[in-house]
Amino acid sequence: MIFTVAIDGPAAAGKGTISRAVARHFGFAHLDTGLLYRAVGAKGGDPVEAARSLSEADLTRDDLRTLEAGQAASRVAVIPEVRAALTEFQRSFARREGGAVLDGRDIGTVICPEAEVKLFVTASAEVRAHRRWLEVGGDEAQVLAEVIERDKRDAERATAPLKPADDAVLLDTTELSIDAAVHKAIEAIEKRIEQGRA
């Protein structure tokens, strides 16, 4: 079965946690597309060359979850040649046999507009900053400022700005537990699978 689940949203909204849980539940392959950009940023040098030569081994680096890698990812993600180099990889992953879950910022709008299910996971900037601060530590006010700055950059970029697809299911996790958010995501996907069988 070829079945694509596109999960988009801003930093620390919970999309990675939800994506991994959904992939496990349905037995689908999972790709955190943000890691592609983080890996390109972390490789350094010419970002376009780094994107073109990216391998799966680059996605296993242990420094890709840092705040610095996230900022670097956001900077290289605005380069059209970098996006083009990574788009094909994502699209072939999405249409693999057995189903796939991709999470990122433009999966439902640009990478996989034909995805069978699109979710847009969001939460307030304050809640997302607090979650990120619990992960990385440091000054919580500074983390909030960085989250807001990143949101602005991601929403205003000329190429593939962060926004929900017109047919995406909105999932606000501001006041939801992880289990409740995962349950809602699974419900939306099961509904779509049932419609496909009908």
Binding residues for ATP: 9-17
Euclidean distance between CA atoms 185 and 135, whole angstroms: 23
Token pair 């069988």 is at which residue?
A: 197
Q: Which CATH superfamily is domain 4-193 in?
A: P-loop containing nucleotide triphosphate hydrolases (3.40.50.300)
Euclidean distance between CA atoms 196 and 32, whole angstroms: 26
- Which pair of structure tokens corresponds to residue 86? 């990574």
Give the per-residue pLDDT at 198. Answer: 65
138: left (phi over 0), alpha (psi -120 to 50) or beta: left
Asked if 91 and 112 touch (Cβ cutoff 8 Å), the reply is yes
Binding residues: 9-17
Task: Kindly give, in sequence order, each residue whose CB lies less than 8 Å from that of residue 184, ignoring residues fewer than 6 positions away.
Answer: 171, 176
Angle, helix 80-94 to helix 33-43, in steps of 10 degrees: 140
Asked if 15 and 9 touch (Cβ cutoff 8 Å), the reply is yes
How many CB atoms are closer than 10 A to CB 35? 22
Written as tens digits, the pLDDT of the chain (198 aa) is 899 999 999 989 999 999 999 999 999 999 998 899 999 999 989 999 999 998 878 988 999 988 889 889 989 988 999 989 999 889 988 999 999 999 998 999 999 999 999 999 999 999 999 999 998 899 999 999 999 998 888 888 887 788 999 999 999 999 999 999 999 999 999 999 888 776
How many CB atoms are closer than 10 A to CB 82? 26
Phi, psi of 43 (to 5 degrees): -65, -30
Asked if 90 and 31 touch (Cβ cutoff 8 Å), the reply is yes
Token pair 């949101």 is at which residue?
A: 151
Q: Where are the domains of the chain?
A: 4-193
- Which pair of structure tokens corresponds to residue 35? 């890691």
